[in-house]
Structure 1
Amino acid sequence: MPGIVALTGATGFVGAAAARHLAASGWRIRALVRRMPQDALMPGHELEIVLGDLDDRATLERFVKGADAIVHSAGLVRALTPIEFFQVNEGGTAHILEAAAKAAPRARFVHISSLAAREPQLSPYAASKQAAEVKLAALAGERDWVALRPPAIYGPGDHELLPLFKAAKLGLIAYPAEPDARASAIHVADLAAAIAALLQQTDWRERIVEIDDEQEGGHDWAEIIQALGQCFAKQPFALRLPRPLMAAIAAGVGMVSSLTGQPRVLSPSKIAELYHPDWVCHGPRLSGLAPWRPRFGLREGFADTLAWYRSRALL
């Protein structure tokens, strides 16, 4: 029977979806949060809140004590400096593992990594995600553990793709990519279901697992734009942005971020990621290790995301 799962990042996009799915699967959720959520995270489900962050060693030990499983979904996707990525993504992972070694030595550990960890040379973010996986392997001890590497994640609760949907509605999508670029994707509900499916397994043969919507070969931008167009019953005009132009835009965004102290996802260090031609999942797949299959293809997933945007009057 499911027991207690200690969940970091429960107020984030992925963590909130994981919390709802795990609770529906019978797990008791203990969430580490920096401040009390303004809204109920899981109406109708019991939730234990632990106030603290990934730098608070004493709180982390209390957070994981007695847990049967730990799901670490907290992480930084935007930062003003490279060192911030490493402090949170690598350092935070190390801190929770050190706490778990003392207070929950047998708890299973699911780390939500990123497909970017496969290409650490591209950006500080990618390098920090790989560094977190290295810490996991070094500090996990005898416990069962796995690092899930999702590609682009989308779905209800995501605000990063909202500009793309707005552009599709207007009928013009400008996209940054190499001409033959392909990428995998996954709906957040499918990722949350995968986490629950993993925790039901007793045989974790693979340590690093890539996960996507299982579209063989991923998607190219023509497919992505077509799926977006189907949401609005029209085919948008597509404009591929050359890398020098996108680099100039990112430089301007970076200057604004420095002046305001507010980091943005688009930054000069992100350009190499955006123009990397292969973001297709290739490694061991979760479907070969656990009783899990994705529910959402790109068209159905985009329609579900659009419905959420409209329900929140965002589009």
Structure 2
Amino acid sequence: MLRTEDRAGSDAWRSARVSRHGLDVDGARWVIPRFVRTKVVVTGANGFIGSHLVDRLLAGGDAVRAMVRASANLDNLADALARADARPELVRAALTDVDAMAAAFDGADIVYHVAGLTAAFTRDEFARANAAGVANVLAAIRQAPRRPRRLVYVSSLMAAGPSHPEVARREHHAPQVGYTLYGDSKLDGERLVFAAARAGDVEAVIVRPPAVYGPRDLDMLQMIRSAKYGVIAQPGLRPAWMSFIHALDLVEGIARAGARGRPIPRDGEHVLADQGCPFDHVPEDISHPAGAGIYYLTDGQRSTVVEFGRAAAAALGRRALALPMPQVAVWTVAGINHAIGRLRGKAPALTLDKARGSMAPGWWCDDSRAVRELDYAPQWPLARGLEHTVAWARSVGRL
């Protein structure tokens, strides 16, 4: 059942002008005309990424519906809901309730599907939250009386699988299935989005972020806390290349994907139709057609877990040493955490699935397509981003 709780936000939604002419082509870019106040829905709006996206869309002048579960904690939305001017319309609808979501999506221009599960114990848990969640979102889009034109699905680099040790992941690289349960569930969601786009149900764009950190995040904060005590746990004996992104850069890229991103084409070769290239393939043209409609977003740097930890330590005014952990040590710690989490009924930060992912040959990607097609320009390099994150964590008593 759909519940609307904010009258001012609801009024802003109803008064916004809705464009029925689709997205206009401006040269090589897709843009929403400036005279249109875009109506958008954000699922998982109270989460780490979702709440930052709500802030970014409001700042851009969009009329925002913030969709959350009935039992959702709204702390991350406190500032947005307290705005004196435009603020989001808060609606409560579960990802399992297609009717409620269809009502929430009615009249929207763009749906940003951010809600998902990042930590769980089993494949079924991930599938119910991620793949089935996408299926229900698509069903709600089809059912909405005034169907949204565009869906932006926030997936993950892990959907594609690990990168080659010396070649960054690109959008046209074939995914590696079976590496992590989480990644497989996000890839299953991508394939559902791809099928809907090919069927003409909705324009669709997929965004694949790497490891995300920033204010309001609690998962990566644990790495920062370790650096506070002078220790950086490095899975494996050699550091692997990774990509990171600050939450504010990520939501800027997501918003640009919604407004300007080229959608998944209705025909032609595509990586999600099992027509991708080997993951060590470097094309002459960064806009390889097999990756159309997919965007990697990063901070523009190639880093490692150790470099992340040292930057965090520097932001804290400390020094930290890397502690290489053999695979057996990683598996042992993860197994203990996994067992304790099972007893408590809550997945810990380091599960067996995350341990498997941590020992990959690399998790880094190339955001050249986003830079070229979205005019994406990251503003938060690792050192600056971690200084910002540490300042937030201290201000709220997390460090």
**Which position in structure 2 is the counterpart of 1:121?**
178
| Structure 2 residue matching 1:295: 3-state secondary structure | coil
CA contact (8 A) 1:77 1:265 kept: no
Aligned residues: 313
Correspondent of 2:63 among 17, 25, 28: 28
- The higher radius of gyration belongs to 2
**Which position in structure 1 is the counterpart of 2:238?**
179
Matched, 1:214 2:300: yes
Deviation for aligned residue 1:269: 2.0
CA contact (8 A) 1:150 1:210 kept: yes
| Structure 2 residue matching 1:29: 3-state secondary structure | strand
When structure 1 is superposed on structure 2, of 289-298 and 27-36 the one drifting more is 27-36
Deviation for aligned residue 1:163: 2.2
**Which position in structure 2 is the counterpart of 1:84?**
125
**Which position in structure 1 is the counterpart of 2:100?**
59
CA contact (8 A) 1:16 1:41 kept: no
Which residues of 2 match residues 193-212 of structure 1 at below 5 A? 193-201=252-260, 203-204=262-263, 206-212=292-298
| Structure 1 residue matching 2:91: 3-state secondary structure | strand
Q: Distance in 2 between matches of 1:202 and 1:241?
A: 41
- TM-score normalized with structure 1 length: 0.94
Deviation for aligned residue 1:258: 1.5
Can you give the 5+ residue segments of structure 1 that lack an aligned partner in the other structure? none
Correspondent of 1:256 among 335, 340, 365: 340
What letter is aligned with 1:258? Answer: R
Q: Distance in 2 between matches of 1:311 and 1:151?
A: 26
Q: Distance in 1 between matches of 2:296 and 2:341?
A: 32
Question: 1:200 and 1:177, CA in 2 relative to 1: closer, same or farther beyond 3 A?
Answer: same
**Which position in structure 2 is the counterpart of 1:2?**
37
When structure 1 is superposed on structure 2, of 271-280 and 67-76 the one drifting more is 271-280
Q: Distance in 2 between matches of 1:17 and 1:201?
A: 19
What letter is aligned with 1:244? Answer: V
What letter is aligned with 1:279? Answer: W
Q: Distance in 2 between matches of 1:114 and 1:177?
A: 23
| Structure 1 residue matching 2:374: 3-state secondary structure | coil
Matched, 1:169 2:228: yes
**Which position in structure 2 is the counterpart of 1:74?**
115
When structure 1 is superposed on structure 2, of 28-37 and 94-103 the one drifting more is 28-37
**Which position in structure 2 is the counterpart of 1:17?**
52
| Structure 2 residue matching 1:285: 3-state secondary structure | helix
Q: Distance in 2 between matches of 1:129 and 1:266?
A: 19
Correspondent of 2:380 among 261, 274, 296: 296
Q: Distance in 2 between matches of 1:41 and 1:271?
A: 35
**Which position in structure 2 is the counterpart of 1:138?**
195
**Which position in structure 2 is the counterpart of 1:270?**
354
Correspondent of 1:233 among 314, 317, 327: 317
| Structure 1 residue matching 2:376: 3-state secondary structure | coil
- When the two chains are superposed, the root-mean-square deviation of aligned CA atoms in Å is 1.8
CA distances 1:193-212 after superposition (whole Å, capped 9, x unpaired): 11222222264472221110
Q: Distance in 1 between matches of 2:184 and 2:74?
A: 33
When structure 1 is superposed on structure 2, of 80-89 and 163-172 the one drifting more is 163-172
Q: Distance in 1 between matches of 2:369 and 2:155?
A: 14
Deviation for aligned residue 1:284: 5.6
When structure 1 is superposed on structure 2, of 118-127 and 194-203 the one drifting more is 194-203
Identity %: 32
CA contact (8 A) 2:223 2:309 kept: no
Question: 1:158 and 1:106, CA in 2 relative to 1: closer, same or farther beyond 3 A?
Answer: closer
**Which position in structure 1 is the counterpart of 2:248?**
189
- TM-score normalized with structure 2 length: 0.75
Deviation for aligned residue 1:37: 4.6
Question: 1:202 and 1:116, CA in 2 relative to 1: closer, same or farther beyond 3 A?
Answer: closer
**Which position in structure 2 is the counterpart of 1:107?**
149
What letter is aligned with 1:137? Answer: F
Deviation for aligned residue 1:186: 0.3
Question: 1:100 and 1:225, CA in 2 relative to 1: closer, same or farther beyond 3 A?
Answer: same
Matched, 1:244 2:244: no
